[in-house]
Amino acid sequence: MKKILLLCFIMMLCNSIQSQTVYYYYHEGEKISFTINTQYVLLSLSEPVIPEFIKNMPIKISELRSDMSERKQYQGQKRTSRYCAELQFNERLSEDQYFKLLAEIKQQQPDAIITPYVKYDNTEEKIGTSNFFYVKLRSEKDTTLLRKIAEKANCIIIEQDPFMPSWYVLNTTSKSERNAIESAAFFSETGWFLTAEPCLMTDLLQCATDPYFGNQWGLSNTGQFGTEIDIDIKVCDAWPFSTGSNVKVAIIDSGFDRYHPDLIANVFPESYDTSTGDTSIFYRNHGLNCAGIVGAVRNNNIGIAGVAPNCQLIAVSDYLGFPYPNAVQELASGINWAWQHGADVLSNSWSNIEYLNTTYIGDALSNATTLGRAGKGCVVACAAGNSDGGSVRYPALRQDVIAVGAADCNGQRASYSSIGTELDVVAPGTHIYTTASEDGYYYFTGTSAATPHVSGVAALILGANPDLTQSQVRLIIEFTAQKVGDYTYQIDPEHQNGAWNEEMGYGLVNAFSAVAYASSCVLNFINQTVTSMTPVMGCDDLNVQNVTVTNNASLILSAPGEITIDGPFEVQIGSTLGVQY
């Protein structure tokens, strides 16, 4: 009896420690292993119609796509296109449930090719697998061997790569016993070929692995909301050059949860509350929404990615509500505390017509833009206001700050966004997915959502070139903005940093162009003819000599040090010269 009980115990223990199904292939001799992602599968069909029994399952079904265009096929073989769709199960399944369900689909649809999705251990990244895999021959004479093994494995040779003739493209079929990952491993392990590998699919349009990054159209607009593709701030192109490292952004707002899991790694240790003079207080979600847009950690498998995902976030909390008897002084103290404690960028998603002509706050802003960053000045971004097409609100109407309006995902001005001569740029402001209380996330709308996008871009610029003055950063953001939407942008004397429009300012902020421009300063601007709007940014001192400005052009010279203009130098009638420090 004891032996029987012991045997039963051993069998139960073996079942309890049974490992997950592992797929693998070989890359340069190294074995690359995956586990199953039980939330997804790729379904390949011979006809472009999803069977009704699949439609009735508790799943999400992607659009059907042809798996190949009509093209010349290997040795004249006839191979018609198949049609693929990604199935996403509404609930995360166990492996037993997953493979049982795949078997049921195969039983009801025998011509289907069903390929599991995989993931690396300890991650949730979705890696798709299709019915394609690739084999590299040792020599051309091995084609006969490849053909025989493929036929025995019920695989089809699709083509010989015309650019790399040693590579061949193969397909599994509905009769194949192995999926594409298993087939690639099998062909490699025969030892008869140089290598073989499956076609692994990742979202090439996504530049972050955060699970909700696909909701962030403002950072990467792939048409995910049925919108115009590529209306975004081009941050994916900017991140290889700057992520905002060593740049501190003060979120002057209603406070934020400094322990939110998507922010905590980027939170600056010091904080301030404008009412108590002590550490910041988390009054409400508004500030937390803004903080996530600026600096949520990227590629941490949590939530979203911030515009400047490696910046430091400084919490400066203010009640921002009624009753608010000492509002002006408290906001001014928050601004002053921020620049005095090392903030490089001040993000202000608040505005109020009642603060118009408030010298108290104005003096604090002047301090930040002239004394901050050891005299280079803090970059200050302010919400233009949600006045439904009314005028820009204070303090965004000040010339030493960046007035930020809101655009939607089709590149149009959001209907609520303020307009007017003080408007500088627009940024994504409608349906913006960001951090919220209780470690959560939700959609946020308004010029309050647009402003932290610009603050994040300012952090990227300073991450690329920390020697820039705040006026240079403003110039770069304005000059590099994208002319989106159905608007007429024009040059006028009051807006010399490029073509401008009263509803869109200089356009939609462009992180990549701004970072690229910030990285290209000059020491000398010599023997030049300027025929269009041209900002020239000096690395330190700037030497200008033998320059002609013509054709109603505008030349703007900017440098953190001295600007020396030597003759000959000519600005023809109708053209302009501007100097910024």
User: Which residue is catalytic, options 183, 188, 271, 286?
Assistant: 286
State mean pLDDT over 453-475.
Answer: 96
Reply yes or no on whether the pLDDT at 6 is more than 70.
no
Going by pLDDT thresholds of 50, 70 and 90, the confidence category of residue 206 is low
Reply yes or no on whether the pLDDT at 17 is more than 60.
no
Of the candidate ranges 347-351, 420-424, 531-535, the one whose mean pLDDT is the lowest: 531-535
Going by pLDDT thresholds of 50, 70 and 90, the confidence category of residue 450 is very high
Taking only the tens place, the pLDDT of each residue in 36-81 is: 888 899 999 988 899 999 999 988 898 888 776 444 456 656 667 7
495 is catalytic: no
Can you point out the beta strands (E) in 257-354?
A: 272-273, 312-317, 345-348
Phi, psi of 249 (to 5 degrees): -115, 120
Going by pLDDT thresholds of 50, 70 and 90, the confidence category of residue 149 is very high
Residue position matching structure tokens 């690396």: 120
CATH no., domain 213-517: 3.40.50.200
Residue 5: per-residue pLDDT: 31
Residue position matching structure tokens 């049921």: 104
State mean pLDDT over 441-453.
Answer: 97
- Residue 116, preceding peptide bond in cis (omega within 30° of 0): no
Query: Taking CA 396 as the corner, what is the angle to CA 577 and CA 267, rounded to the nearest 5 degrees?
Result: 110
User: What is the spatial distance between Cα 566 and Cα 547, in angstroms, rounded to a whole number?
Assistant: 9
Residue 9: per-residue pLDDT: 28
What is the DSSP secondary structure assignment for residue 1, as one 8-state letter?
-
Taking only the tens place, the pLDDT of each residue in 168-178 is: 999 999 999 99
Of the candidate ranges 47-56, 328-337, 356-365, the one whose mean pLDDT is the lowest: 356-365
- DSSP string covering 229-246: TT-S--HHHHTTT---TT
431 is catalytic: no
Residue position matching structure tokens 């620049």: 339
State mean pLDDT over 512-527.
Answer: 86
User: Which residue is catalytic, options 142, 210, 232, 253?
Assistant: 253
State mean pLDDT over 462-480.
Answer: 94
State mean pLDDT over 87-97.
Answer: 87
Residue 577: per-residue pLDDT: 86
Residue 12: per-residue pLDDT: 31
Residue 373: per-residue pLDDT: 98
Taking only the tens place, the pLDDT of each residue in 217-259 is: 999 998 888 777 889 999 998 998 899 999 999 999 999 999 9
Residue 72: per-residue pLDDT: 47
Q: Which two tokens stand for residue 454?
A: 């610009």
Reply yes or no on whether the pLDDT at 15 is more than 60.
no
Mean pLDDT of the chain: 88
Three-state DSSP at 553 gives coil
Residue 555: per-residue pLDDT: 87
Going by pLDDT thresholds of 50, 70 and 90, the confidence category of residue 19 is very low
Residue 536: per-residue pLDDT: 86
Reply yes or no on whether the pLDDT at 534 is more than 60.
yes
State mean pLDDT over 115-129.
Answer: 74
State mean pLDDT over 112-140.
Answer: 83
Residue 70: per-residue pLDDT: 47
Instruction: Give the CA count within 13 Å in the CB-facing half-sphere of 321.
Output: 9
Reply yes or no on whether the pLDDT at 408 is more than 50.
yes
Residue 63: per-residue pLDDT: 80
User: What is the spatial distance between Cα 79 and Cα 377, in angstroms, rounded to a whole number?
Assistant: 65
Q: Which two tokens stand for residue 58?
A: 């508790």
Whether 307 and 296 have beta carbons less than 8 Å apart is answered as no
Percentage of the chain exceeding pLDDT 90:
62
Whether 339 and 346 have beta carbons less than 8 Å apart is answered as yes
pTM exceeds 0.85: no
Reply yes or no on whether the pLDDT at 396 is more than 60.
yes
Residue 496: per-residue pLDDT: 83
Residue position matching structure tokens 């939609």: 508
Percentage of the chain exceeding pLDDT 70:
91
Going by pLDDT thresholds of 50, 70 and 90, the confidence category of residue 3 is very low
286 is catalytic: yes
Residue 355: per-residue pLDDT: 55
Reply yes or no on whether the pLDDT at 14 is more than 80.
no
Taking only the tens place, the pLDDT of each residue in 287-323 is: 999 999 999 999 998 999 999 999 999 999 999 877 6
User: Which residue is catalytic, options 280, 317, 417, 448?
Assistant: 448
Query: Please, where in the chain does CATH 3.40.50.200 lie?
Result: 213-517
Residue 232: per-residue pLDDT: 96
Whether 370 and 405 have beta carbons less than 8 Å apart is answered as no
State mean pLDDT over 341-357.
Answer: 85
Residue 8: per-residue pLDDT: 32
Of the candidate ranges 105-114, 231-240, 350-359, the one whose mean pLDDT is the lowest: 350-359
Reply yes or no on whether the pLDDT at 509 is more than 50.
yes
Residue 18: per-residue pLDDT: 38
Whether 378 and 344 have beta carbons less than 8 Å apart is answered as yes
Q: In what order do the strands lie in the sheet with 345-348?
A: 272-273, 312-317, 248-253, 345-348, 379-383, 402-407, 425-428
Residue 523: per-residue pLDDT: 79
